[in-house]
Amino acid sequence: MLEIKNLSVSFDKKILLDNINMSVARGARHLLMGHNGSGKTTLVQTIAGNPDFHITSGQIIFDGNDITNDTPTRRALLGIFLGAQNVPEIPGLSVVSFLKHSMSAHAHFNTGRDLSMAEFLEQLDTARTKLNIPKDWMNRSINVGFSGGERKKLMLLRLVLTQPKFAILDEPDSGADDATQQQIADTIHDMTNTTFMFISHQNSFTNLISPTAKTTLEHGKIKE
């Protein structure tokens, strides 16, 4: 699903990743490990296309496509999902509006047709009910006034609705209570058509996920 070849990345002229070579098998639950500052978040942000991180050399191959120079939008439409560790608050943009725009963009890219409001609301209601998310959350601004665990549940809602090919979850357990961590793990196991890469520092959470593969970073390099 994902192949990274000789990837080096800099931020503000400082090398953060040095000659990274790794692959993620289709259908994997791939754990990315390493101490704080080892380069984990840099790597996943680079895969997602964050322009703050400059690729100085190497390639990123996703599902057979070279996406090294693709925009974040195109990467998302191709099926790359990022559940970031720190998510922004967006006052004035409601959860339902954000999800509708996202779902419509994916539907048009994948099928060439527009997603009707009726189709969207049906899918939203099904996913929201499955995740036990209150309906009144949908009219609130993105992440404004939401706790850490509630933000994780909104991330899960977006994940379930978009059904990406490849989902990157950067410390999804952070700020989540035991019940929410279990729900995250259950969702990951249910989404058998999605390949996962995730970062976690909690053994109790990684045990819930049962990783199929592991890669450890140290000082911006793959630890052998």
Contacts of 92 (CB under 8 A, 6+ apart): 141
pLDDT in tens, 23-63: 999 999 999 999 888 999 999 999 999 999 999 999 999 99
Please state, in angstroms and rounded to a whole number, the distance separating the CA atoms of residues 110 and 106. 6
Please give the C-alpha separations between residue 122 and each of 113, 117, 119, 146, in angstroms, as whole numbers: 17, 9, 5, 24
Helix axes 178-190, 148-162, angle to 10 degrees: 10
pLDDT in tens, 50-101: 999 999 999 999 999 999 999 999 999 999 999 988 788 899 999 999 999 9
Across 152-176, average pLDDT: 92
Return the ∠ at Cα 81 (arms to 80 and 82), rounded to 5°.
Answer: 125
pLDDT > 70 in the chain, percent: 100
Report the chain's mean pLDDT, rounded to a whole number: 92
Q: What's the pLDDT band for 223 if we cut at 50, 70, 90?
A: confident
Name which residue leads in pLDDT, 113 or 207.
Answer: 207
Q: How many other C-beta atoms are found inside a 10 Å radius of the C-beta of residue 7?
A: 21
Is the per-residue pLDDT at 13 higher than 90?
Answer: no
Q: Tell me the CATH number for domain 2-222.
A: 3.40.50.300
Residue whose token pair is 């720190």: 86
Q: What's the pLDDT band for 224 if we cut at 50, 70, 90?
A: low
pTM of the model: 0.91
Q: What local confidence, expressed as pLDDT, does residue 87 receive?
A: 80
Please provide residue 176's backbone torsions phi and psi, each rounded to the nearest 5 degrees. -100, 135
Q: What's the pLDDT band for 113 if we cut at 50, 70, 90?
A: confident
Return the ∠ at Cα 102 (arms to 99 and 107), rounded to 5°.
Answer: 120
